[in-house]
Homo-oligomer: A and B are copies of this chain.
Amino acid sequence: MSPWTEDEGTVLNNCRVDRDVFFLEVRAPNIAPASQPGQFVMLSGWDVHPLLPRAMAPIRFDTERAVLAIYYRVVGPGTERLSRLGPGSRLRLIGPLGTPLVPQHGPLALIGRGVGITPLLPIAEAAVQLGIPVRSYLSARTRPLLLEERRFVELGPLATHVAELDGPHTLVTEQLARDLEGGFIPAMAIVAGSGRLAQHVLMLAAQFGFRAQSFVEEKMACGVGYCKGCAIGNHGRLICLDGPALPLEEVL
């Protein structure tokens, strides 16, 4: 367990990106500078309802400005209330949480879908800074939901799949399969945001022999290992402490 804290955050920007997806920038004086790739925060911008904070994996930690950038999809009462906070609103944050995921060897394959891709970008940036090559495979319902597509392109080859344009019947991991056949064997693949993509990667990992992790989600209460509510699999692993990324074979 690594140190974490509680911040009184300030909303700097909170705007709609697509139908039900929003982009939030929040100043978190203590949490943002301490955050590492793979980590997440718990946030609440409300009082009694809903009761629990919500887990969010920032797409960017701006350590100098102490700002976290978050994409979120409105799916229930917590994200709905979040979407109504204007600049200047206060948010309670807990973090940084979870086990950092800073790759040591390369190359890296990053596979993600929709809002779920957010934790992949900090990992890609850390990897490139360490000189580790990165290839990304991203899919989304619509083009605007290929979040930060430009930034991913800057960091390495990017394959994309947009359901609206490319049809629902292919997976972006089919490009990964072609790359694997072409000789690109990653030291590690990291999946986020899609069980279907994770399934396919698990198959490819077995076939081509590489390690794979996946970001997983379960309802969380504390986010810090106290409540034991986020256990997954047969080993009693806690997503909030041992994850949020865990070996693919443990979570599928």
Contacts and interface: CB of A to CB of B under 8 A. Distances in A.
Interface string A43-54: 000011100000
Contacts of A49: 47-49
4 contacts: A47-B49, A47-B77, A48-B49, A49-B49
A222 to B, nearest CB: 22
Nearest to A49: B49
Nearest to A80: B47
A11 to B, nearest CB: 15
Contacts of A47: 49, 77
Interface of A: 47-49, 77
Contacts of A77: 47
A49 B49 CA distance: 7
A48 B48 CA distance: 9
A170 to B, nearest CB: 41
A27 B49 CA distance: 27
A51 to B, nearest CB: 10
A47 B78 CA distance: 13
A138 to B, nearest CB: 36
A72 B78 CA distance: 28
A77 B46 CA distance: 12
Nearest to A46: B49
A47 B76 CA distance: 13
A7 to B, nearest CB: 23
A49 B50 CA distance: 9
A77 B47 CA distance: 10
A63 B48 CA distance: 38
Contacts of A48: 49
A14 to B, nearest CB: 15
A48 B77 CA distance: 11
A70 B142 CA distance: 46
A47 B48 CA distance: 12
A58 to B, nearest CB: 27
